[in-house]
Structure 1
Amino acid sequence: MEGTEEGLSTDARVLLEAVAAMSSDLDLDKVLRRIVESACELTGARYGALGVIGDHDDLAAFITHGVDDDERARIGDPPHGRGILGLLIRHPGPLRLPHLQEHAASYGFPANHPPMTSFLGVPVLIRGVAFGNLYLTEKAGRAEFTEQDQALVEALASAAGVVVQNARAYALSERQRVWLEATARLEQALRPGSTTKEALDLVAVAARVVSRSPLVAVLSDATGTPSIVSTEGREADSAPLVVAKAQDAVLEAFAGGRPDPVALDDELLAVAVPVRAELFGAAVLVVVLDPRQERGMLRADLDMLSSFGEQAGLALDRARALADRAELAIVSDRDRIARDLHDLVIQRLFATGLQLQGVRGQVVSPVVADRIDSTVADLDTTIRDIRSTIFALQRPGATSLRAQVAALALEYEGVLGFAPVVRTAGPVDTAVSADICEHLVAACREALSNAARHASARSIAVSVSTDSEEVVLTVTDDGIGITPGGRESGLRNLRQRADGLGGSLSVLPADPRGTRLLLRVPLSGSSVQQA
């Protein structure tokens, strides 16, 4: 070896510079490329490569030096670990050959591959376990690599193992940090009261961003059969095909298992990850990963993805619990208001009405007596309205007959120019069946539509009342009334609907003007025929 002024040989100095260059970065991709470049510079090899060994003793990644992008594209897919490359995987140890093609394990080269003769292969070990292999070919100016080349590359590979271990540890900590940040952002983004679709969309976005996946699909079995609820990624259109190929893994994940990745085309993997959420409901993430981009860290990424699924389930349950708590607070407030209205307001109004009735017997003036009677009637109407309000507070929701009629009145406010007054009496939401309720709402719509087109009314009152035998829908307007001999297409529809329900329809003049429409339907024994 040629000496230098510092007392180090040229090879030793180049080796130290190579180790220093490898150690100057913690980015795993850059470290692997610098290892290959340093090995080529150290030995004078024209071509170099570092093959990262995957979980199935194949090459999960193949980093090259000396081959440009155009040549790499003409060669085609990277090697999988057969022939000489596979020999070093199965038997990790240095291998030096003067003629690569003459070895018994030689597998040959694909079309458009540059010619290669001399070969030097050295394993890169991390704590005694092979991480990958350094492959060098075509030593410049020599027919074959020397023992000195082999010794230098072995020393380089030994140092590279430490550098790669540090880079992998750093990369792993960074990925863990990114996954934790994604989980934290997901918890912040999940708002209480979000719909199932909105919540699962957020889960899909978080998983796709962190995993760098071309496709993330979220499945739910809320209907009894697993179905795709949300998709994310540039390959989102292929979600049904991917889910179909991974069907067994998806079912296993819904059962709470952790299935193995499913191989797809183009060497991609589909991973089914359970999202365990007790309150929100079960869901499964299907994430497509490219193991060639993982640089031997696929297993670590699978563990982090599984942990993300568990944390996402907790975040979904937390959002649902907060929404349930808020809804419970609203229900409690409704119950308190309803109780106060019943125990305080109604009782006081009722007592006031009784006092007025007691005073009426002592009144001589007919005018005053009529005024008291009118006031008592108004109090009775007010009590009925408050009772309707109490019932609505105790049974919130748009599916009740009371709520549907009220919503219909608001709908026609824009058409009429005013909001019809809605009153209910009796247990209209519990005594009236769903079939009758549907037809009553349709009849009310027909009546309001007729009044809007023909009555020229300034006020309309809608009343729904029920007792143990029948339910009565009353629509009263102060319009011009029904013109004798006029068209009755709307009324004909209402009569047909009443007949189909086994009831009756009455159209009477209102006092002092207008029209009163009464639809009576028996609560039992009606034959619902009208669609």
Structure 2
Amino acid sequence: MSPLSRVRLDELLQEMLVRVGEVMTSRERLRALLDAVVGIGTNLDLRTTLQRIVQAACELVGARYGALGVVGPDRLLHDFIVHGITPEQHERIGDLPHGRGVLGLLIDDPRPLRMPDITQHPRSYGFPANHPPMHSFLGVPVLIRDQIFGNLYLAEKQGGAEFTEDDEEIVVALAAAAGVAIENARLYALAHRRERWLAATAEITTVLLGEVRRTDALALVARRAREVAEAELALVLLYDTDTEQFSVDVVDGPDEQAHALVGAVLPAADTSFGAAVAEGRHDQVDDLAHAAPWPALLHTGPAMISPLTTAETLHGVLIVAHRPERGGGASEEDLTLLGSFAGQAALAMERARGQEERELLVVLEDRERIARDLHDVVIQRLFATGLQLQSAAPMARPELAKRINAAVDDLDATIRDIRRTIFELRTPMTSELRTEIRAAVEAAAEALGFKPHLELSGPVDSAVPDAIRPDLTAVLREALSNVVRHAQCTRVDVAVRVDSGQLTVTVTDNGVGCDPAAARGGLVNLRERASRLDGTFTVTAAESHGTEVCWAVPLRD
């Protein structure tokens, strides 16, 4: 064989070895791709799946840094899962990118993108402080059923100046498999959420089968809605069709300041969701704190709002609010699940109202019977006894006559009291306000360790308008709550009086006292409630020691 032929053979052998090496490398990368596809599909937790996708992409193409940006409805990045950056670096870098600059190119045009140096691109904004340097770049969109879910971003090719066409192809293949894995994880998460909502709905249905108390039922509705939605706050607002106002009936959540909302009245026209719920539609807001003129500061973020309706009756609204740091709106599926749950809650309200009306009818019938007996029997007997005593007075000695006349005066006073009682018994009413007041006092007794002394004076049930009742009960609860937290007392006196067209609530304790000028939080809310009703609110030192809180408002029809 000639020397030329041997050189040619060596070249052929060398080329064959290179091809064999390329085939082996391709097989190894293909095996690695298959392993990665199997790996990202072994866990149905969405967050874990996204982290595995980023890690697998970095390992397949030798990228030092990787990230998966989740694109929201507003075409901005709402989540950013990173690999290759330590938690300490992540914290020093600060806020996540929003999807502008080079990262936004894939959002505007979802096609694979390779660059030898990202810093030289015209759309490059540069990197924030403490961000590691990056040059070579590869970006690939992740699609789910032809809809963009997010983008894979890879940077800093290790062992090479830039990412190759083979790198792009293998990441595109991984992104296709990732789309399927993400869809499976999302479907699993949706099924899990459905299961939890169905369990909560079943719990409400169980409540419907027994004795229903509206307040207890709504408290359960708010608590379960917040737990299932993994939210920060849940509220139930009742709607008054006559005044077109919402009143906050139940608040559930860890924020103590939010509980001061109970009893607050909000004109439906002043809320961003009033028109939607009036039409029976679900709604969502970016920040609940700005959706209505709340009397207390709310630290909330996006919220879902669902009307509580039965047939054509709007009972109120169920609101579920998340933390401020949770970005993006709720999905249509989440709104539907909340709406189904709210429908059961509305049925609970309807049944509770029916029970209350039946119980109220029984009470009213009993009250009418008592009033009739008082008028036809008791008053007549007292009147006859008074007449007998009056006729006997002239025949008695002066001292005895004086005592008889005094007894007659007492009988007259007793008859007047009974007539007033008869008037109150026969006055139509929607609910026993006295019962609510006593319930608030008894609730405070558990925390105090003793029962406050309660004095009710005047026609409390009949004279206090429905519009003021929520404020009255909220003021009483807040005043007693302040006593429990700060007074360190051994006696509390509560007085609720209706006299001369004015409602007055006074809570007096013999505790350590407080500085009226330093009033804040709940006491500020009490002052605002009084001001809104053209009333007054004062905090003064009691006669001996302790504090006296007085809340007074005029009564109007």
TM-score normalised per structure 1? 0.61
Equivalent residue in structure 1 for 2:273, among 227, 231, 250? 250
Equivalent residue in structure 2 for 1:234, among 241, 254, 257? 254
Q: Which residue of 2 aligns with 1:513?
A: none
Question: Is contact 2:282–2:335 with CA below 8 Å preserved after alignment?
Answer: no
Deviation sequence 1:25-73 (CA, Å, 0-9, x none):
1111111111111001111111111111111111122111122222222
User: Separation in 1 of the partners of 2:25 and 2:85?
Assistant: 36
Deviation sequence 1:251-293 (CA, Å, 0-9, x none):
1244134254222289931222111135996110121136986
Q: Structure 1 472/63 Cα, relative in aligned 2: closer, same or farther at 3 Å? A: farther
Displacement of 1:151: 0.9
User: Separation in 1 of the partners of 2:267 and 2:51?
Assistant: 35
Deviation sequence 1:72-128 (CA, Å, 0-9, x none):
222222122111122111110111111111111112222222222211110001121
Q: Which residue of 1 aligns with 2:317?
A: 284
1:27 partner amino acid: D
Unmatched segments (≥5 aa) in structure 1: 332-392, 406-422, 429-462, 476-482, 504-528
Q: Which residue of 2 aligns with 1:464?
A: 379
Displacement of 1:498: 6.9
Displacement of 1:133: 0.5
Equivalent residue in structure 1 for 2:109, among 63, 87, 91? 91
Equivalent residue in structure 1 for 2:205, among 176, 183, 187? 187
SS at match of 1:48: strand
Q: Which residue of 2 aligns with 1:268?
A: 301
SS at match of 1:121: strand
2:39 partner amino acid: A
Tell me whether 1:396 sits opposite 2:366 in the alignment.
yes
Superposed, 1:362-373 pairs within 5 Å as none
Superposed, 1:190-229 pairs within 5 Å as 190=208, 192-222=210-240, 224=243, 225-229=245-249
Displacement of 1:319: 5.0
User: Separation in 1 of the partners of 2:255 and 2:273?
Assistant: 19
Aligned length: 379
Tell me whether 1:100 sits opposite 2:133 in the alignment.
no
Q: Structure 1 195/491 Cα, relative in aligned 2: closer, same or farther at 3 Å? A: farther
Equivalent residue in structure 1 for 2:190, among 161, 172, 176? 172
Equivalent residue in structure 2 for 1:151, among 169, 172, 180? 169
Question: Is contact 1:217–1:232 with CA below 8 Å preserved after alignment?
Answer: yes
Question: Is contact 1:121–1:135 with CA below 8 Å preserved after alignment?
Answer: yes
Deviation sequence 1:362-391 (CA, Å, 0-9, x none):
xxxxxxxxxxxxxxxxxxxxxxxxxxxxxx
Question: Is contact 2:307–2:314 with CA below 8 Å preserved after alignment?
Answer: no
Equivalent residue in structure 1 for 2:342, among 280, 305, 309? 309
Displacement of 1:19: 0.3
Displacement of 1:5: 11
Q: Which residue of 1 aligns with 2:333?
A: 300
Q: Which residue of 2 aligns with 1:78?
A: 96
Q: Which residue of 2 aligns with 1:37?
A: 55
SS at match of 1:221: strand
Q: Which residue of 2 aligns with 1:9?
A: 27
User: Separation in 2 of the partners of 1:267 and 1:324?
Assistant: 34
Question: Is contact 1:2–1:10 with CA below 8 Å preserved after alignment?
Answer: no
Displacement of 1:203: 1.0
Question: Is contact 2:65–2:84 with CA below 8 Å preserved after alignment?
Answer: yes
Deviation sequence 1:122-157 (CA, Å, 0-9, x none):
000112111111011112232221111111100100
Question: Is contact 1:254–1:282 with CA below 8 Å preserved after alignment?
Answer: no
Q: Which residue of 2 aligns with 1:442?
A: none
User: Separation in 2 of the partners of 1:325 and 1:165?
Assistant: 50
Q: Structure 1 83/238 Cα, relative in aligned 2: closer, same or farther at 3 Å? A: farther
Displacement of 1:202: 1.1
Question: Is contact 1:15–1:156 with CA below 8 Å preserved after alignment?
Answer: yes
User: Separation in 2 of the partners of 1:2 and 1:271?
Assistant: 60
SS at match of 1:169: helix
Displacement of 1:243: 10
Q: Structure 1 488/171 Cα, relative in aligned 2: closer, same or farther at 3 Å? A: farther
Deviation sequence 1:169-192 (CA, Å, 0-9, x none):
222122111111111112213565
Unmatched segments (≥5 aa) in structure 2: 1-18, 290-298, 387-398, 421-498, 502-557
Q: Structure 1 60/124 Cα, relative in aligned 2: closer, same or farther at 3 Å? A: same
Question: Is contact 2:61–2:167 with CA below 8 Å preserved after alignment?
Answer: yes
Deviation sequence 1:450-509 (CA, Å, 0-9, x none):
xxxxxxxxxxxxx2349xxxx94979xxxxxxx957899998676568799999xxxxxx
2:336 partner amino acid: D
Q: Structure 1 107/36 Cα, relative in aligned 2: closer, same or farther at 3 Å? A: same
Displacement of 1:229: 0.8
Displacement of 1:425: 6.3
Q: Structure 1 202/3 Cα, relative in aligned 2: closer, same or farther at 3 Å? A: farther
Alignment RMSD: 4.4
Question: Is contact 2:375–2:419 with CA below 8 Å preserved after alignment?
Answer: no
Q: Which residue of 1 aligns with 2:489?
A: none
Equivalent residue in structure 2 for 1:60, among 64, 69, 78? 78
Displacement of 1:304: 1.8
Q: Structure 1 500/292 Cα, relative in aligned 2: closer, same or farther at 3 Å? A: closer
Displacement of 1:18: 0.4
Question: Is contact 1:201–1:230 with CA below 8 Å preserved after alignment?
Answer: yes
Question: Is contact 2:281–2:306 with CA below 8 Å preserved after alignment?
Answer: yes
Q: Which residue of 2 aligns with 1:125?
A: 143
User: Separation in 2 of the partners of 1:488 and 1:85?
Assistant: 98
1:303 partner amino acid: T
User: Separation in 2 of the partners of 1:315 and 1:276?
Assistant: 11
Question: Is contact 1:123–1:130 with CA below 8 Å preserved after alignment?
Answer: yes
User: Separation in 2 of the partners of 1:40 and 1:488?
Assistant: 104
Q: Which residue of 1 aligns with 2:535?
A: none
